[in-house]
Each structure stands twice: as structure tokens, then as C-alpha cells.
């Protein structure tokens, strides 16, 4: 029997002037699409990208989806490269990176890959909508 596969596209959006961020996620599993968005605590976009990955991993664990083959796509090179190197120079990122690396040990098979912005439009749109909603509140 083939293992189920999950694909997740994540992105973050930040209003730098107000230092407010929000994130978006598109999850594909068993012909089903789940869209999630939420305000983030991060004040910069790069930090928000790390936070969104961290929250997405937590969501997968909460849903008990740790044995599936998982592909997570992000358009943040710094996130992907930091995970590959297991190092982030910026302390704001390294705090999230430590948490992310710890969460990754819960998964049997997970891939985190960089994706060009043009391939991540769904998550980008959701993140921007969440940011507009957060700014209105």
C-alpha cells in the first residue's frame, strides 16, 4: 500500500512600517485542499517565513500527520538554506530554526524545498489577505 502524501505551500507577508505579519498555507492531501491563514508575531518578513514553517509543522503534528510523506514548499531561500545547514546567523531566525529542527524529528519523511514565487501564488495570496485582515483589526 502506498503511503499518503501531503504537499504544503507556505508564505508570509509583512507590513514593514507597522511591523505586522501574517502567514498563509495551502495543504493538499487526498484530493482535498485546506487553506489556513493566521496573524504572526514576527516583525520582519524573513522572520515571519520561519514562524510560518514552525506553525505549519505544529499543525501537522496536531493533526497526527507525521507518518505521511510530506513536501513543504516555501519561496524563502533563507529558510531552506538555514535548514540544510542547520544554522542561521541572525538570532531571530536561529530561535525558530532550533524549534523547527526539533519538530522535524517527529516526521518519518519530510522535504522542505524552495519554490519560485510564481509557483507559490496560492499561499502568497492567502498570506496577503491575512495581513490585510490583521491590519484592519
- In order of start, what are the domains of the chain with their CATH numbers? 5-136 (3.30.420.10)
pTM: 0.94
Q: Do 61 and 52 contact (CB within 8 A), yes or no?
A: no
Q: Do 45 and 14 contact (CB within 8 A), yes or no?
A: yes
pLDDT tens track, the chain, 137 positions: 567 799 999 999 999 999 999 999 999 999 899 999 999 999 999 999 999 999 999 999 999 999 999 999 999 999 999 999 999 999 999 999 999 999 999 999 999 999 999 999 999 999 999 999 999 97
Amino acid at each position: 500500500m502506498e503511503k499518503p502524501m501531503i504537499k504544503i505551500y507556505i508564505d508570509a507577508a509583512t507590513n514593514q512600517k507597522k511591523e505586522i505579519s501574517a502567514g498563509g498555507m495551502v495543504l493538499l492531501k487526498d484530493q482535498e485542499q485546506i487553506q489556513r491563514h493566521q496573524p504572526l508575531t514576527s516583525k520582519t518578513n524573513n522572520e515571519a517565513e520561519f514562524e510560518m514553517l514552525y506553525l505549519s509543522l505544529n499543525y501537522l503534528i496536531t493533526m497526527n500527520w507525521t507518518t505521511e510523506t510530506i513536501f513543504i514548499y516555501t519561496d524563502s531561500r533563507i529558510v531552506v538554506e538555514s535548514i540544510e545547514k542547520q544554522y542561521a546567523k541572525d538570532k531571530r531566525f536561529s530561535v525558530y530554526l532550533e524549534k523547527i529542527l526539533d519538530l522535524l524529528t517527529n516526521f518519518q519523511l519530510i522535504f522542505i524545498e524552495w519554490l519560485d514565487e510564481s509557483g507559490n501564488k496560492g499561499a502568497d495570496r492567502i498570506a496577503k489577505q491575512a495581513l490585510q485582515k490583521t491590519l484592519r483589526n
